[in-house]
A and B are shown apart, each in its own frame.
Chain A
Amino acid sequence: MNLTVENVDIFLGAKKIVKGIDLHVANHSFAALLGPNGSGKSTLLKSIYRVLEPRSGTIYLDDLKMKNIPVKEIAQHISVVSQFQSNSFDFTVKEIVLMGRTPHLRALERESSADYQLVDEALHKTGLYELKDRSISKLSGGEKQRVVLARAIVQSPTLMILDEPSNHLDIKYQLEILHIIKKLGINALAALHDISLAAQFCDYIYFIKEGEIKHHGKPKEVITKEILKEIYEVECEVYEDSRTNNISISYYSI
């Protein structure tokens, strides 16, 4: 499903966090939301996955207004990878991943073998298969993060929302997670911290600061030293690495 965010304002208490943002994710593309801490990235994403309600503006899934679609139907199309919410209930990895099927099953419907196959595939993709019977409290932060990703994959979304999915992960899994998402071939919108990784994996980039989209475009168009200076207030050089063909950023010390 294509996502369109139109002129959205979000308040937290009396404070306006997101100011008139327009954004569009379509045609199986992977879009990144980049910006400093507190710029409103998470807040915007939360309104897309309906934990927060925008004060004004409209969010569309394809042509439908999101607020007119039942929660369960939305969950059949959108899955979310955010920070793992720890709790005191000790489910196993497999049980949690299987919960990704929740929106696709009716109240008493049993999980079919197809559902279990999706779970196994996702466990393999995220490198968790060996840990499937482990209880969640025994996993490291990075492993928990991969459990959340596996659950989001099992949900079979056509749009995936990710809020800093690669926090807590070492570089191997950061690359793997972004690679997995890219390979799913669905629409994805991710808030990311690492500009180089975003440039490497994403098709489109939105730079957000103080609740507004300041610049957007293809990675090579918008990741420039001028824009990075404006958004992050750091001096740097941006160049293309001749061996990997990736954008590389080198920062000056202050």
Chain B
Amino acid sequence: MISRDNSMNKINVYIVLIGLTVLLLFTVILGISVGTLKIPISQTYAIFMEKILNLEPSNETYSGVFWTIRMPRVLMGLIIGAGLSLCGIIMQAVVQNPLAEPFLLGISAGGYLGATIFIILGSGVLGAFSGLGLAFTAFIGALSAAVSVLFLASYKSSITTTKLILSGTIINALFTAIANFVIVFSGTDNTISRVTYWTMGSLSSAKWDNLLLPTIAVCAATIYFLTQYRTLNAMLQGEETAITLGVRLNFYRKLYIMLVALLTGILVAACGIIGFVGLIIPHIARALAGPDHRRLIPVAVLIGSTFLVAVDILARTMIENIELPIGIFTAIVGAPFFAFIMIQKNYQFRD
């Protein structure tokens, strides 16, 4: 990968973090103002202040679009981008492999299966659609996918990159197939179209009330993993080294996988499968800040947020009056990126 000759000193990290924050704010403002209805950037500030100061909105239409449609959507993008990047980083530390990612390892597919079962079979039983129930079944699906992948990849010998990616492919195929079976077997036209759109990932369902759970989960996970940087760094040094440095490796591995599965489940429940973010963002962040998790996590979370908000702007505005699923865009960027990593010469793709 892109390597650094010198470690970055503290001042540089702060500059990077400030720069990224500014970039994120700029992207958020842009995300609020562009769309089918264009809100002039000069107006966004006014609308924002009016709401904060509880004044009568000067432009009802702008204010309505701003607060009920754009704002939750942009915030959802921000949260999901941060969460997916974090999931990628943690998975990569757990398996000591920079190619691990919830989507590539089939964990997202597990979440998809869980969520599909809930939407098609469960929501009928439970009556009202419950965000918590959806997130829970998505978590169970994601967790069973994660456990299956790790079991397959480590069966009878230690985990290698090849085995890991292949296991991910297998689990991905299997879980997606089961989910599709459920859909074809018992879906109605309405649920089918909803689920299909969902497999491509979209932020279009973002509302203030379904924003709460992902926000809490992503914030809590980010804070928790920021406190775990030393354990994460030791994990990257390999199993033996981690143990001899006093890390309870098996315990933390299991705990981290559980948390990643939980987070992935919540994210998938909120906006479907958005691939490759957990792969691309940690790579870029490592190139900027190095592999030390103390710096890597905040940098990656900021880049991830900015990236997803930006990609969502593209998805909304690229073709007029048509909204494309965001997963299409992350895959269009992500697939060539993955290929680029693979053909990098100095990259350790061997076992």
Interface residues, chain A, with chain B CB atoms under 8 Å away: 46, 49-51, 71-76, 78-80, 82, 85-92, 94-96, 99-100, 102-103, 105, 107-108, 133-135, 137-138, 155
Contact = CB atoms under 8 A, between A and B. Distances in A.
Interface-central residue, A71, A80, A82, by most chain B CB under 10 Å: A71
Contacts of A108: 227
B4 A135 contact: yes
Nearest to B291: A89
B234 interface: yes
Contacts of B98: 88-89
Given A87-B238, A107-B227, A102 B246 contact: yes
Contact of B96 (A75, A87, A94, A100): A87
Contact of A79 (B7, B234, B244, B348): B244
B72 to A, nearest CB: 33
Contact of B245 (A73, A89, A90, A100): A100
A71 B348 contact: no
B245 to A, nearest CB: 4
B50 interface: no
A162 B241 CA distance: 13
B246 A90 contact: no
B323 interface: no
Question: Which label, helix, strand, loop or mixed, suits the secondary structure of the A interface?
Answer: mixed
Contacts of B286: 89-90
B237 interface: yes
Nearest to A86: B348
Nearest to A79: B244
B290 A92 contact: yes
Per CB-CB distance, the 9 closest pairs between chain A and chain B, nearest first, are A75-B246, A103-B246, A85-B238, A72-B246, A80-B244, A89-B291, A92-B7, A102-B245, A89-B236
B228 interface: yes
A133 B7 CA distance: 6
Contacts of A103: 245-246
B5 A91 contact: no
B3 A137 contact: yes
26 contacts: A50-B244, A51-B239, A51-B243, A71-B246, A72-B247, A75-B244, A85-B237, A85-B241, A86-B348, A87-B236, A88-B98, A92-B290, A95-B7, A99-B234, A99-B245, A102-B233, A102-B246, A107-B230, A107-B231, A133-B5, A133-B7, A135-B4, A135-B5, A137-B3, A138-B5, A155-B245
Contact of B292 (A79, A95, A155): A95
Contacts of B97: 88
Interface-central residue, A49, A73, A85, by most chain B CB under 10 Å: A85
Contacts of A134: 5
B244 A90 contact: no
Given A103-B246, A107-B228, A135-B3, A91 B292 contact: yes
Contacts of A88: 1, 96-98, 347-348
B245 A94 contact: no
Given A74-B246, A107-B227, A90 B240 contact: no
A5 to B, nearest CB: 17
B321 interface: no
A96 B96 CA distance: 15
B243 A50 contact: yes
Contact of B237 (A74, A78, A87, A138): A87
Contacts of B238: 85, 87
A92 B227 CA distance: 21
B51 interface: no
Interface string B84-112: 00000000000011100000000000000
Given A88-B348, A135-B3, A99 B246 contact: no
B6 interface: yes
Nearest to A80: B244
A158 to B, nearest CB: 14
A90 B247 contact: no
B248 interface: yes
Given A74-B246, A78-B244, A108-B227, A90 B4 contact: yes
B291 A51 contact: no
B30 to A, nearest CB: 34
A71 B248 contact: yes
Contacts of B348: 86-88
A152 B120 CA distance: 56
Nearest to B239: A51
A109 to B, nearest CB: 9
Nearest to A49: B244
A155 B246 CA distance: 10
Contacts of A135: 3-5
Interface in B225-262: 227-228, 230-231, 233-234, 236-241, 243-248
A186 B42 CA distance: 70
B115 to A, nearest CB: 32
A138 B231 CA distance: 24
A121 to B, nearest CB: 19
A195 B197 CA distance: 69
A50 B250 CA distance: 13
Contacts of A100: 245
A49 B348 CA distance: 28
A74 B246 CA distance: 7
A90 B231 CA distance: 17
